[in-house]
Chains A and B, each alone.
Chain A
Amino acid sequence: MTPSPSLISDLPSTAHHPVEILRFNTCGSVDDGKSTLIGRLLYDSKSIMEDQMEALERSADITGGGEINLANLTDGLRSEREQGITIDVAYRYFATPRRKFIIADTPGHVQYTRNMVTGASTANLSIVLVDARHGVIEQSRRHTYISALLGIPHIIIAVNKMDLVDWSEERFLEIRDQFESFLPRLDVLHDVKFIPISALNGDNVVTTSDKTPWYQGPNLLGHLETVHIASDWNLNNFRLPVQWVNRPENPRDESLHDFRGISGQIAGGIVKKGDHVLVLPSGYKATVKDIWTYGGSIDEAFCPQSVTIQLEEDIDISRGDIVVGIDDLPGVESDLRARVCWMNQKPLTKGRKYFLKQGTQTVQAMVTAIDSKVNFENLKMEPEPAELAVNDIGEVKIKTARSIVYDAYQTNRLTGSFILIEQGTNQTVAAGMLQPPNAAFNPEFTDYTI
């Protein structure tokens, strides 16, 4: 195809005013038009440059019979271009005057579900593409389920190739009904929007199409630019996983002789100078003396800022510990329940040992039971499967060599998530989402109320 001229008049902003970032991923099965949609967004937002266009035209002349394929923009590896498929997660960037966007283009093949989990784990929003001719297929259910499982706050179901069903409102509603018949079975989907589009021609992608007078909602880019994302991070319960202890050696500055900083990225909540906190798993209580940053001391900091805090008390603290607020304490346990997405060709069987990395701590862990496995045909949990194969999602029990400090994934995506690493090969074999702790941490000392 030859893309039509762009209809966006504004160039990307030079950003003298603050602009926020929205991260989204695209998913759909093969040929649903993911790469075409991304190509369209990039092209119409003037994010495709002349030399990229020339490269596209060159490859069109050589391999495409003269037809430009926008998918070649994102399919960056040689074997992808040869096979016309997307193998790995590709990240793309574009901006409009209102927002900057990071796209994770995630492949739709059954065998590449792990890539979708990868791309979706950091997303504010998921675009699930459906071919209007085929409607909901197993892949659509799988992608929507994974988006829900990963707690992505916002979903767009983009019903693509509407031009091939004559822009039929009836067909669009039929597909919406198909989705709505299973959406309630998914855990946490608050914000789901259906948009009829043609990625190839650009209808309802960056401009509102005149072919869908029956559709009153926003076009796709309009929604991406305006969807409310300010509350996507957890700002309720203070969590600071200790990444690195900052102790200057032989500082030239006298005042730094006693500097003892706790560096990390705040994984939840807000912290203020003078706040009472607990250090877990030890349970020591402490008071925040200072929040140190390169630009100077600050009075408060919030998730997901990277900071260095100093405590009044000189207590033993190291990487893997977590500093938490004294309200709403996390669990500190070694018997865990979790949902995992299995990502390795070697299936998961119970009794095997792995490294479990959660927050900044890595512990030895054993999967002691596989309780159930998702059947993507009906989205029901099948009890007691013998194993989890690659791309399976299931509920498991895990025993860790020492207690870990964690929250339910539903409450906090950063302190409720983990990966499993195979010992020896060091492959990342699973992504895990923790179920709520059996009990919140219970401090043993009596003068706990401060």
Chain B
Amino acid sequence: MSAYHLDHLEYLETEAIHIMREVAAEFERPALLFSGGKDSICLLRLAEKAFRPSEIPMPFLNVDTGHHFPELNEFRDRRAKELNGKLIVRKVEDAIKAGIAVPTPGEISRNKLQIPTLLNAIEEFQFDCAIGGARRDEEKARAKERFFSFRDGFGQWDPKNQRPEIWNLYNARVNMGENMRVFPLSNWTEMDVWEYIRKEKLEVPNIYFSHERECVLRHGQWLPVTDLLPPKEKERVETKIVRVRTIGDIISTGMVESPANSHDDIIAEIAAARVTERGSRADDKASEAAMEDRKKEGYF
């Protein structure tokens, strides 16, 4: 761009850095949700840009459903260490044992159980703010989110009663027990995230790139075969050349057949894609308002 003009990635970056610094300045005990997924990888780079040469002034928090891709957890732990960050992991398994999260009989997915586990972690550490990597282009309930999303004492989102957000003036005030979810990547699209990863040469877990994997075809999606998801009778296990486009739990993340092996390949693939990123997530397909309902209960 011209000498005094930002291109789209520079604009999105300065907006996000501004938000990160507002969080550091306005909250007593913020945390940064870091899963090792591509969006939170961008968050970490933005945090470095916002706070270096100081240490990143907040711990990283991850809710482990116990159904994570092992590659993701390995990357999460290593990256946190490299950045000299404090990583807090809270497990759905433990929340179930403690009676904090109660599984629905017959339901295998741990997706909903993340909610009480996250809320309990927020309470345990008295976090008044959690930064997340959610984007508005992901899902239509998320399209209605604010940068600073207020949550009441029960962690609930009230979409009809959101604080108006004007200019770059964020109202960060919360009372005791309430908290804020802050989404610096609100205005980023999937394409922006990958372009940023390419520009910043950010490492991502290798499952984002093409690899061989044993899968079964279920409900029109190639799901990875694991101990958690053994093939059913009559299902045929096939070795496919696949990658993940979005990472959810290993039992519900559809693998995309893809030869994409580099950032450039992935960006070209997204440009030509005819389905959305979350089209391969079973958790969002439950109903038209699946995300809205989860968010109202405290999901991020």
Beta-carbon contact of A304 and B21 below 8 Å: no
CB distance from A302 to the nearest CB of B (A): 5
User: Do residues B166 and A256 form an inter-chain contact, with CB atoms below 8 A?
Assistant: no
With A20-B5, A20-B11, A115-B164 as contacts: A306 and B53 at CB distance below 8 Å: no
Contact assessment for A358 and B169 in the assembled complex, using a CB-CB cutoff below 8 Å:
yes
Q: Are the C-beta atoms of A21 and B11 separated by less than 8 Å?
A: yes
The distance in angstroms between the C-alpha atoms of A230 and B279, with both chains bound, is 36
The yes or no answer to B262 lying at the interface (CB within 8 A) is: no
Binds A, one of B67-75, B87-95, B155-163, B225-233: B155-163
Residues of chain A contacted by B169 (CB below 8 angstroms): 357-358, 417-419
Taking CB atoms, residues of chain A closer than 8 Å to B168 are 122, 265, 414
Q: Is A264 an interface residue (CB 8 A)?
A: yes
> How many chain B residues touch A (Cβ–Cβ < 8 Å)?
67
> Is A419 a contact partner of B25 (Cβ separation < 8 A)?
no
Question: A93 contacts B54, CB within 8 Å?
Answer: no
The answer, yes or no, to whether B98 is at the interface (CB within 8 Å) is no
Pairs across A and B, CB under 8 Å, 5 listed: A13-B271, A14-B271, A20-B7, A90-B140, A91-B136
CB distance from A249 to the nearest CB of B (A): 7
| Residue contact B141 to A76, C-beta cutoff 8 Å | yes
A118 at the interface (CB under 8 A from B): yes
Q: Which residue of A lies closest to B169 (CB)?
A: A419
Of the residues B2, B11, B49, B186, contact of A293 by C-beta under 8 Å: B49
Contact of A306 among B5, B17, B189 (CB under 8 A): B17
- Among A156-164, A181-189, A190-198, A239-247, which stretch is in contact with chain B? A239-247
Taking CB atoms and an 8 Å cut-off, the chain B residues in 188-203 that contact chain A are 189, 191-192, 195
Determine the residue in chain A with the shortest Cβ distance to B168: A414
Q: What sequence of 0s and 1s flags, for each residue 362-402 of chain A, a beta carbon within 8 Å of any chain B beta carbon?
A: 00000000000000000000000000000000000000000
* Contact pattern, A 398-419, Cβ under 8 Å of B = 1, otherwise 0: 0000000000000001100111
Tally the A-B contacts, defined by beta carbons under 8 Å: 190
How far does the Cβ of B198 sit from chain A's closest Cβ, in whole Å? 10
Question: Which 5 pairs, one residue from A and one from B, show the smallest C-beta to C-beta distance?
Answer: A76-B140, A18-B7, A51-B279, A306-B17, A426-B173
Which of B12, B22, B48, B171 touches A294 (beta carbons < 8 Å)?
B48
| B17 (CB) vs chain A CBs: closest residue | A306
For chain A, the bracket of interface size reads: 35 or more
CB-CB nearest in chain A for B291? A76
Binary interface profile of A, 46-63, with partner B (CB < 8 Å = 1, else 0)? 000111100100110000
What 11 new A-B contacts, CB under 8 Å, besides A12-B271, A74-B140, A76-B144? A51-B279, A76-B143, A88-B162, A91-B144, A244-B25, A247-B54, A261-B53, A294-B49, A304-B15, A343-B164, A417-B169
B292 touches A304 (CB 8 A): no
Whether a CB of chain A sits under 8 angstroms from the CB of B276 is yes
In whole angstroms, what is the CA distance A77 to B158 when docked?
11
Contacts of A235 in B (CB 8 A): 4
Tell me the A1-45 residues at the B interface (CB within 8 Å): 11-15, 18-21
